[in-house]
Amino acid sequence: MKSIIRFIPLILFFLLAVLLYRGLFLNPQSMPSAMIGKPLPNFELPTLKALDQPVGRDDLKGDIVLLNVWATWCIQCKYEHPYLLNIAQDPRIKLYGLNFTDDHKAALSWLKQYQDPYVFSIFDEQGALGLDIGVFGAPETFVIDHTGIIRKRFAGPINDEVWQQEFLPLIETLEAEMAEGAS
Amino acid sequence: MRNPIGSQIGTLEYVIRLVIGTILLSALWVTSVNASSMDTFQFKDEATQLRFQILSKELRCPKCQNQNLEDSNSKIAVDLRNNLYNLLQEGMSDQEIIDFMVYRYGDFVLYRPPLKEQTYILWFGPLVILFGFIIGVVFVLRKRSQVKVNEHDLSTQEQANLDDILNKK
């Protein structure tokens, strides 16, 4: 009995060490979005290329919609951009942009310079839609399913690894859900 | 007198001056920090301004994580401060504003987590640990007091030896 008590501090130390060691490899930025499972809120905002034609939620057509939050002040968006051009080729998804609290001219010339992967980019100068969906920075990418529900929020740049691990499984799940709903 | 620090009274005076000076300086610093995030907003009355101050301390910056909205100068914190101001001007109540933020950013924006099943461990964990320690301490102390006094008693021979040594002196 006494020898067990003697080992309690050592056991506690190891438990604490394991806990803290795990903490070293957690990403504090990867927080679950509060918006998951909630419908995409409606909005009325212009697009980058047509300032006089406001669009809304229903204009984001497509069964699986990816809404990518970007801005010219965001350095990681530049890193992510070539891969977005890649994703836009995927026939299963439709990629839309949300240009977030940005300068209109700079945003247009960005799309010209680096090519435009988006069906269109919503021009959210005041960050109104961004606030409504809980955006806290750029880049962020939301996945919206065929019923208009937000299913995922990924904060950070997308690359091949992220795409394979974070997005493809969800896309497959959504496709299965749609097939189930149709039958 | 030319070197007041040298004498005893001078030293005391020096210390007092130093302390008062430090307090004044830090007070100055604190007020200037408070002013920095305030001066761009015009409030309709002082009560609203006070609510703004309280709410921007209660709400946490989603990006910078260990700062509240008032402290942080990150882009999102500035945006959310503007938003908070607009919501206050629209006449929303404190609870409505907090609900508004929680709906979008989750419980994470609150510095004080709400009491619910997932947060029981946060609220009651420390109390449980405290009680665990108290019980542990009581247990150990009781055990110690139960040790029989007789065990430490000296045998007759030992007592005689001890008396011998003491009496020698």
Say what the pLDDT of residue A169 is.
95
The one-character DSSP state at B7 is S
Say what the pLDDT of residue A14 is.
95
Least confident of A24-28, A82-86, A172-176: A24-28
SS3 B2: coil
Specify the CATH number for the domain of residue A72. Answer: 3.40.30.10
- Across the interface, do B104 and A134 touch by the CB < 8 Å criterion? yes
Residue A99 lies in a domain: yes
Say what the pLDDT of residue B5 is.
45
Say what the pLDDT of residue B148 is.
60
pLDDT at B138 over 50: yes
Cβ count within 10 A of residue B7: 11
* Token pair in block for residue B14: 């020096």
Domain that holds residue A51: 35-182
Distance from the B66 Cα atom to the nearest Cα atom in chain A, whole angstroms: 11
Residue A1 lies in a domain: no
ipTM of the complex: 0.76
CA–CA separation, B148 vs A139, rounded Å?
Answer: 71
CA–CA separation, A83 vs A131, rounded Å?
Answer: 26
Q: For residue B56, report the phi and psi dihedrals to the nearest 5 degrees.
A: -75, -15
Does any CB of chain B come closer than 8 Å to the CB of residue A34? yes
Q: What is the mean pLDDT of chain B?
A: 80
Residue A8 lies in a domain: no
Give the model confidence (pLDDT) of B3-38 as tens digits.
444 455 677 777 777 777 777 767 665 554 544 444
Tell me the torsion sign for CA atoms A101, B61, A17, A12: negative
A44 Cβ neighbours under 8 A, 6+ residues apart: A54, A55, A56
What does the radius of gyration of chain A's CA atoms come to, in whole angstroms? Answer: 21
Give the model confidence (pLDDT) of A139-152 as tens digits.
999 999 999 999 99
- Look up residue B95 and give its amino acid: Q
Say what the pLDDT of residue B4 is.
46
* Token pair in block for residue A14: 């190891």
CB B81 within 8 A of CB B56: yes
CB A51 within 8 A of CB A99: no
Residue A11 lies in a domain: no
What does the radius of gyration of chain B's CA atoms come to, in whole angstroms? Answer: 31
Give the model confidence (pLDDT) of A71-130 as tens digits.
999 999 999 999 999 999 999 999 999 999 899 999 999 999 999 999 999 999 988 899
CA distances from B61 to A101, B66, B101 (A): 17, 7, 11
Fold of domain B8-113:
Helicase, Ruva Protein; domain 3 (1.10.8)
Does any CB of chain A come closer than 8 Å to the CB of residue B10? no
Which 65-104 residues of chain A touch chain B by CB within 8 A?
Answer: 73, 101
What is the number of domains present in chain A? Answer: 1
Which candidate from B79, B103, B106 shows the least CB-CB separation from A101? Answer: B79
Give the model confidence (pLDDT) of B47-87 as tens digits.
888 999 999 888 988 877 788 888 888 888 888 898 899 89
Residues of chain A contacting residue B132, judged by C-beta atoms under 8 Å apart: none
Instruction: Name the residue ranges covered by the structural domains of chain B.
Output: 8-113, 122-168
Say what the pLDDT of residue B113 is.
82
